[in-house]
Structure 1
Amino acid sequence: MGSTAPTRILDRRHPRVVALLRRIEAEAGSARLVGAEDRSAFLRVAHRHIAEAVRPVYSVREDPPVSEVLRRGRGSCSQRLAVLEAVARASGVPTRVRGLLVDGRFWYPRFPRLRRFVPDQVVLAWPEFRVAVPAPVGGPAGPWLSTSELFGSLDELSGRRADGFSNAGAETLFDALSRTAIDWDGTTLCPASGAGCDLSGHVLADLGHFDSRDELFARHGQTLCATARLLAEPVLGRRGAGADRAGLAALAET
């Protein structure tokens, strides 16, 4: 399971994706020519470049091609993670996603005035990367590295900062990866103070692993139906994460 192949969403051969890859390689070198630790370092550099190139906004669409996200220069947390996946695949690092069904109440702090519009359940595509050097033909495949551990083990990350991810304010899950533990399984010893890093209480179901986010959403659907996405996207798609919440109330009037 997992692949470096392009998909409709992960259109890694598009010139915009290739151009981003070249900028990352100019700083980090080629991921095809290094070992697992250097491949992890490559992905960390890629994360920073994407954070700088793609402004965080709210969005209800899970399916725009990565090239379109790069063209707009803005994207949701899920869309920015898709960019990271596309760059990884373009660099020769196989990716897959773990599907998580997350309680909609996890997003209440971000949308305090719009709770009635937040879905009860959200389908989340959480990427994983095979950073180990490819095994010989017939040999055992290397382990998968979760996005949560891109910047260190969960225990290391939880020990760096007392405050975990609160899902409030401007910080998104994508941005929080570099500073704190994002633990969907409840395996981390989190600090007693501040927002917790253990997010397992928000997970309603583990949907398993999929070769791509395309496959996950084809099987389990996007969080909102097509009509709801059509109505909500023009309002949310240009609003920055952490934008004035009073402004977000415009959605309630559509």
Structure 2
Amino acid sequence: MRLPPFYPVPFVLPLTDDIQFGYNTSDDIPASKVLKDGYGQCNTKSTLLMALLRAVGIPNRIHGFTIDKALQKGAITGIWYRLSPQNILHSWVEVYIENEWYFLEGVIIDKTYLNALQEQNPECKTTFCGYGIYTDKFENPEMEWNFSHTFIQEKGIHQDFGVFDNPDTFYSKHQQKMGILKNILFKKYIRHLMNNNVNTIRNKQY
């Protein structure tokens, strides 16, 4: 019997919008910390989504990649952008529904933030790269799950690490290569600048 079209959307849509796009202290924080923060990026939102889906018995896995830092330009600016790694650790969740694996990358960006960027760039209908987004369907990106893949950053993928059963296994093999000093700067300073940039865009009225 075919599942109703909202399954498992009750978990995907609130995660997309109620957990806004933003930068946590690190990629490998637990799902409970992401929930407490109330915001997340590709890797941390993936951890939370996996926990929610597994809590209701929906099989899932994490798919790891790197993405080009160009898609972060605007969220991170100036010297901090120049000092950031060229390739950034990235992941999305894949869910197993009716004998098919579906990719749920579209949960990364909340709609309020996306709508603000669309209003700020009304001339752009296709390829958009920056501010945490890299898609060739900027006017109408594939973010709604309806027995289909969802994407918002996939055009920036550089290296494919394959699939993993859980985030712990993924992060035991792959970490963001920033070095001790850059890692401390990111946690204590840079990510707050990035979140301020994101929130300024999200809250701007046009």
Question: Which amino acid is 1:47 matched to?
Answer: V
> Equivalents in 2 of 1:126, 1:242: separation in Å?
21
Amino acid of the residue matched to residue 187 of structure 2?
A: E
2:126 is the counterpart of 1:126: no
The structure 2 residue matched to 1:212, chosen from 155, 162, 166, is 166
Secondary structure of the 2:88 match is: strand
In structure 1, runs of 5+ residues without a counterpart are 1-34, 133-141, 151-160, 183-196, 246-254
Q: Give the superposition deviation at 1:226.
A: 4.9
- Note the alpha carbon deviations across 1:181-207, whole angstroms, 9 max, x for none: 38xxxxxxxxxxxxxx7944x322211
Residue matched to 1:87: 52
Hey, what's the Cα distance between the residues in 2 that align with 1:122 and 1:212?
A: 19
How far 1:66 sits from its partner (Å)? Answer: 0.7
Secondary structure at 2:32's aligned position in 1? helix
Shift in Å, 1:59: 3.3
CA offsets, 1:159-214, max 9 Å, x none?
xx94455333xx768xx99x5138xxxxxxxxxxxxxx7944x3222111111222
Shift of the 225–212 alpha-carbon distance from structure 1 to 2, 3 Å rule, reads farther
Contact 2:68-2:157 at 8 Å conserved across structures? yes
| Contact 2:72 2:133 survives alignment (8 Å) | no
Whether 1:166 aligns to 2:129 is yes
Residue 180 (1) aligns with residue 136 (2): no
Structure 2: which 5+ residue stretches go unaligned? 108-123, 144-151, 202-206
3-state DSSP of counterpart to 1:166: strand
Alignment pair present for 1:145 and 2:102: yes
Cα distance, 1:36–1:127 mapped onto 2, change above 3 Å? farther
Q: What letter is aligned with 1:104?
A: K
SS at match of 1:42: coil
Q: What is the count of residue pairs matched by the alignment? A: 171
Secondary structure, in 3 states, of the residue corresponding to 2:161?
strand
- Measured at CA, do residues 115 and 52 of structure 1 come closer, stay the same or move farther in structure 2, by a change above 3 Å? closer
The alpha carbon displacement at 1:90 in A equals 0.7
In structure 2, give the amino acid aligned to 1:101.
T
Letter of the 1:76 counterpart: Q
Structure 1 residues 231, 147: CA separation in 2 closer, same or farther (over 3 Å shift)? same
Bigger radius of gyration, 1 or 2? Answer: 1
Kindly indicate whether the alpha-carbon contact (under 8 Å) linking 1:98 and 1:125 is maintained by their aligned counterparts in 2. Answer: yes
Distance 2:62 2:186 in 1: 26
Is the CA contact 1:57–1:236 (under 8 Å) kept in the aligned structure 2? no
Q: Which residue of 2 aligns with 1:242?
A: 198
Q: Distance in 2 between matches of 1:94 and 1:43?
A: 11
Q: Deviations over 1:118-169 (max 9, x none)?
A: 211112111100122xxxxxxxxx221111488xxxxxxxxxx94455333x
Alpha-carbon distance between aligned partners in 1 of 2:60 and 2:128, rounded to the nearest angstrom: 24
Q: 1:131 to 1:166 in 2, by over 3 A?
A: same
**Which residue number in structure 1 is paired with residue 119 of structure 2?**
none
- 1:103 corresponds to which of 68, 71, 87: 68
Residue 23 of structure 1 corresponds to: none
When the two chains are superposed, the root-mean-square deviation of aligned CA atoms in Å is 3.4
Match for residue 10 of structure 1?
Answer: none
Counterpart residue number, 1:15 = none
Give secondary structure in 1 for the equivalent of 2:198.
coil
